[in-house]
Each structure stands twice: as structure tokens, then as C-alpha cells.
Amino acid sequence: MPENETDETTSVPAQRVCGTMPVHRRLLTEDLSYAMARDAVENRAFAFEQGFETPSRTGVTVIPVVVHVVHHTAEQDISEEQIVSQIDVLNQDYRMLNPDVSNVPRVWQPLVADSRIEFRLAAQDPDGRPTTGITRTSTATDTFGMDDAIKFTSNGGQDAWPADQYLNFWVAPRLEDPTVGEILGYAQFPGGPAATDGVVIAHSFVGTTGTARAPFDLGRTATHEVGHWLNLFHIWGDDGQGCSGSDFVADTPNAGGPNFGRPTFPSLSCHNAPDGDMFVNYMDYTDDAGMFMFTQGQVARMDATLEGPRSSFLKGEGA
């Protein structure tokens, strides 16, 4: 790149934007089998969240991860150190070991939950050969959208590894959509096509070092998107600024839209005084430094996912 040319792929949106719900709505209209699968997933999640079914998995579930680095420039071909820093953040956040969990307001501290899920870079590829758990693909495409093109080698991306054995994690040069603008990442809810299953995050928002850019440089974009992959919704229920949406989790307060930046407690909406929105939740839209927790109800949904559509990970395949 010429010395004075700006690399637009290093820009940072002023606010967190996630593309998961537009992808979800697209799949609902394109694929009847997805809509039917989602009904079954949600019925199971409701049963777990209401206590009609209880989790049978024991100990910690380890999920093998393959990171597909799709890069347009040398800078975007992020280092193994940056990737490992992201895996470390996921393991802290999902095991309730993140040092900043102490910043959860006192009223919600009893709700903070350990999901008993850990993530490891895959040690074996689909053919049983040793692997670092990282693939690297040079692409002529500098910006991908939410059409899943990055998930196919034929479209300048990289094909997925078997979705029942690996969490496919694509690192993109840049993500943008004409209707949404620049986004940090997106995920596919359980129940979708195997060929596109996984999460996608732009390189500037992966991990805690290298090309990671503030205020999204603490690895929480992946924590958020993997939450969607495990069937968590945004805490305000994705109804715009209304008060009728739901994330189908009883212990996350009803909220009237996303919170951005670094709110102070309490942040009130939807007649939810005195405690207000749970803006410290990983499934809100705050900056990385402002999100610290999953709740017990959210973990119940993860349990339902791991004992339902993602039950193959209980067998330890691909580790």
C-alpha cells in the first residue's frame, strides 16, 4: 500500500454493531428447514430455562476451534499470538474467570454464572492430521458482507471444517453491509446450514493485541458472537427501542434497546427501575471494557444448546 494511503480496514465504528439478527432473518426467509429447526431449538431452550428439563452434562465441555484467517493485506494476516489472546479471553469469560467480573453491580452478582465451557484451538484437522487450528487464506476481497461469502473458498474465503466437530471462526479483512454499515462480527444461531455455521469477526476486533483496535480490543466481540452461536439473543430482544422484545431469559431485565459505550449504573428503560438495564452483560452493545457477565438463565440456554443441536461437542470430537 502506498505510504500515504489509508487502510480503511483498520477503521473502528463509533458503536458496536452486530450482524447476527439480519443473518438470522435472512435465513428464516430463505430456508424453511432453518425455521423449523429454530422452533425445535427454542422449544428445548424454553424447557431448560423453565426447569422442565435439567442439564445432564458434567464437568467442563471443551469446544475445538478452527480459526480461518482470511486476509487482504499482510497486516490482516493476524499473528498466532493475537489468536491465542482471543481464545484466552473466551475461556476467562465463559468460565467466570475474567478479572473484571468484580465490576458487576452488586444487585446482579448472585446471577453471574460459569458456563462450564472452554475453547481450544483444534489439534487435529478433519483428516486426523496434526494442526495448529489456524488456516490462512489470501483473498482479493477487501470487504465482506453478511452473505456468508467469506465461508466459501470459491468466493474468496475459506470453506468450513465440519460444524459438528469444530467451532469455525472466520477472521475477516473488514465487514460491511449497505443497510447496516460497518459491523464488528456476526454469528449463525444453532439450526442453520452446516456449511455456514460459525462466527465471523473483523480482524480489528479479535483478541487483545496485534491489530485489535480500542474500544473493541479486549476480545469481547468474540464472547458476544459465540454467545449467539450458543443460542443467546441480545438482551433487549431486538425490537428496536420498544419494550415488547425478549431475549427469552427471565433473569435479564427487560430493556428498551442496546446500551453503547460505558454506561453508569443504573441505566433505566422500560420501567425497569431501580436497577435498570443489565448493560454489563456480554449480550449488550457496550464497549469491551464495559461487559463482564453471563447470567444463570443464559447458561441454561447454553446447556439446552449443548444437549440439543450442538450435542456432538459433548463427545470431544476434533479436540
Locate 50 and state its grid cell. Answer: 423453565
d(CA 71, CA 139): 6
- Indicate the pairing of strand 61-71 with strand 134-138: parallel
Q: Which of 182, 225, 307, 317 is catalytic?
A: 225
- Is 118 among the residues known to form the active site? no
Collect contacts of 106-110 with beta carbons under 8 A, ≥24 apart.
Answer: 107/275, 108/275, 108/278, 108/280, 108/293, 108/295
Backbone angles phi, psi at 12, to 5 degrees: -130, 125
Collect contacts of 211-216 with beta carbons under 8 A, ≥24 apart.
Answer: 211/10, 211/75, 211/76, 211/78, 211/82, 212/82, 213/10, 213/12, 214/12, 215/12, 215/261, 215/287, 215/288, 215/289, 216/12, 216/16, 216/184, 216/287, 216/288
Exposure of 119 in the CB half-sphere (CA atoms within 13 A): 27
Integer CA distances (angstroms), 165 to 172, 181, 185, 188, in order: 22, 32, 22, 16
Which among 64, 71, 78, 77 has a CA at the least distance from the CA of 158? 71
d(CA 266, CA 268): 6
As annotated, the active-site residues are 225
